[in-house]
Structure 1
Amino acid sequence: MPNSLNPFELIARRWQPSARFVERAALATVVMAVVIVVTGGAVRLTQSGLGCDTWPKCTPSSLTPTADMGINGVIEFTNRMLTYVLCVFVGVLIIAARARTPVRRSLTRLGWAQFWIVMGNAVVGGIVVLTGLNPYIVSSHFLLSSALLTVAMVVWQRAREGDGAPRDLIARPARQLTWLLVGATLALILIGTVVTGAGPHAGDAREVHRIPLNWQEITQLHVDFVYIVLGLTVALWFTLRAVRAPAAQRRTVVELLVVLLAQGVIGYVQYFTHLPEVVVGIHMFGSCLVWIAVLRVLLAQRERAALPAAAPAPTGDHEGDHETVQPEPAASSR
């Protein structure tokens, strides 16, 4: 019955987004996830973490920053507003994935996962403010942003492939080495959050609690893991070459190596120039690129059946109308 249609089905009856549109919508959420990380870093590096001193309002009596809060209030409030912009991008992705025929519920589920991560991180951001920039909660705030970037990358990959059973493109030992690389990179990012929590950029000009560790010693541990990740990357490249893996898989490893080397240079520059804010901000952007490059290495090692051609949307409001779902083609046995 027409009255039983949910809003997504109504949209699907009137709009059939192309596969290219869904893919671009997924890529847009990746870009916005990076923007959120970089702007969050800008809040901390400009000492605007408490520019709005409460949450969800900016002050106890005002939703927006007041004139006497200065530029710090504007920066913090702008970062909060970007959460709503991100929600719009995620919403477009969910609607496009749901409206396309045949329905790909794997994409819509991943889109909703992004939405709930954004909502959860907004709450954590509020707790960060209410606890006066507690460094442990600040770290969890960044890690949730990294989780959002991870899901966004998976959605982007899934938008370019079908829903058939995945097929490995390289030998199992090489995939195991890849997972070791992913784990080492994750450890590198975790240690980086500890460096942030113990380091000099607390996020506000007032005295803020810091993680009670020597940040220079933690930085050295961070550097050690950089070398571990570099070593694993080189080892993976030689392994893929030895097993004659496809050129596309080897290319993602080379791209990762280039990003790691550039990030390493930036890291040394910020350390020996005593952590200038601009260079630290570039390093945060680089950390996003490193994680994206690692995920590209992992995601490139499997494939699924190609997307089927979109079926025409049902027309008319006759009782009993329903979507025609085209079967997925079988995965290639090449």
Structure 2
Amino acid sequence: MPNTLNPLELIARRWQPSAAFVRQAALATVVMAVVIVVTGGAVRLTQSGLGCSTWPKCTPDSLTPTAAMGINGLIEFGNRMLTYVLCAVVGLFIIAARSHAPRRRSLTRLGWTQFWIVMSNAVVGGITVLTGLNPYIVSAHFLASTALLTVAVLSWKRAGEGDEDPRDLVARPVRQLAGLLVLAAGALTVIGTVVTGTGPHAGDATKLDHRIPLDWQEITQLHVDFAYIVVGLTVALWFTLRAVKAPAAARRRVLELVGCIAFQGVIGYVQYFNGLPEFVIGLHMLGSALLWIAVLRVFLSLRERGPVPAVPAPAEDHESLASQPAAATSASSR
């Protein structure tokens, strides 16, 4: 009995996307991961966390929001629908990575990792609704989105490089400094999530007392302290890269990070001194995602893995090349 090909194998036999297309598909997953972070924030900031009262349906009797649910139901349901768009984009990346020749299993594994994070976070989102916006589950929901963004950025980077063993472009202590920056930025993100969980934007106007039981002023100060740590490490890394004459691309990545930090710092102080306006907080969430992307790109720019593998020549081309010496020998003998 002949072996049955799976659908991905069938597609791969009929379509071989270019390396540039695979990289663009990987970039699309990064964009959608940022969109999910921002729209998830919009759900919370518009008090629409329970716009749909249950999950997976929107109401016990309806899959979609009803007119009586108003704008909050539409916002929550719209965010749920974006999950399908995200799945489609991640699916395109998986198919493109699987169909590209030569096949790169590292890329397909990263694609499937994104898919399972999306599925897991959908379940966490459902638990968030079913638990009435438990602040700890809400925080986990956001952090899972950040995990998705992390894998998406790594996929984007890997799609533009080869599969050789990583080779450091700077000395090990410099890489360690960059790793410390990643850890500090990760802690900054986690603490920022806790700040939101202790503040006035839980996602549902009917449960303003549903908060993480920590002092909002103190946790905000801790968040600011870690922001200064990130700034200090970024400045230190910049001067270190200049001192060791690191590649220009790595130094550019640090400058991009400086821009993100400046944007995020301005937004943070504006929201703090203006009573936490919803729109500004939304910009702060966008800035958080962009800053995390910039930090990851700095870290990944300090090593290389060779060029993208070349597309193998078709079999008939190999045959024609092999026949040329024989033909030339026959002609000379005559």
Matched, 1:74 2:90: no
Query: How much does 1:290 deviate?
Result: 0.5
Give secondary structure in 2 for the equivalent of 1:206. Answer: helix
- Which segments of 5 or more consecutive residues in structure 1 lack a partner in the other structure? 316-334
Query: How much does 1:273 deviate?
Result: 0.5
Query: How much does 1:217 deviate?
Result: 1.5
Matches within 5 A, 1:77-96: 77-96=77-96
CA contact (8 A) 1:107 1:155 kept: yes
In the superposition, the TM-score normalised over structure 2's length comes to 0.92
1:276 alignment counterpart: 277
Alpha-carbon distance in 2 for matches of 1:313, 1:115: 32
CA contact (8 A) 1:13 1:314 kept: no
Alpha-carbon distance in 1 for matches of 2:315, 2:76: 46
1:47 alignment counterpart: 47
Q: Are residues 126 and 314 of structure 1, via their aligned partners in 2, closer, same or farther at CA, if it must alter by over 3 Å?
A: farther
1:98 alignment counterpart: 98
Matches within 5 A, 1:23-62: 23-62=23-62
Deviations 1:206-234 (A, max 9, x none): 02511111112111110111111000000
1:65 alignment counterpart: 65
Q: Which has the higher contact order (CA 8 A, sep 6+)?
A: 1
2:8 alignment counterpart: 8
Query: How much does 1:312 deviate?
Result: 5.6
Alpha-carbon distance in 2 for matches of 1:125, 1:75: 14
- Structure with the higher helix share, 1 or 2: 2
Query: How much does 1:247 deviate?
Result: 1.2
Counterpart of 1:72, as a letter, is N
Larger radius of gyration: 2
CA contact (8 A) 1:16 1:313 kept: no
Query: How much does 1:297 deviate?
Result: 0.2
Alpha-carbon distance in 1 for matches of 2:19, 2:194: 41
Counterpart of 1:232, as a letter, is L
Alpha-carbon distance in 1 for matches of 2:155, 2:132: 35
Which has the higher mean CA deviation after the structures are superposed, 210-219 or 264-273? 210-219
Alpha-carbon distance in 1 for matches of 2:116, 2:247: 36
Q: Are residues 313 and 93 of structure 1, via their aligned partners in 2, closer, same or farther at CA, if it must alter by over 3 Å?
A: farther
1:207 alignment counterpart: 207
Q: What is the total number of aligned residue pairs between the two structures?
A: 315
Counterpart of 2:119, as a letter, is M
Alpha-carbon distance in 2 for matches of 1:274, 1:174: 40
In the superposition, the TM-score normalised over structure 1's length comes to 0.92
Give secondary structure in 2 for the equivalent of 1:48. Answer: coil
Query: How much does 1:311 deviate?
Result: 2.6
2:132 alignment counterpart: 132
Counterpart of 2:226, as a letter, is F
Matches within 5 A, 1:159-174: 159-174=159-174
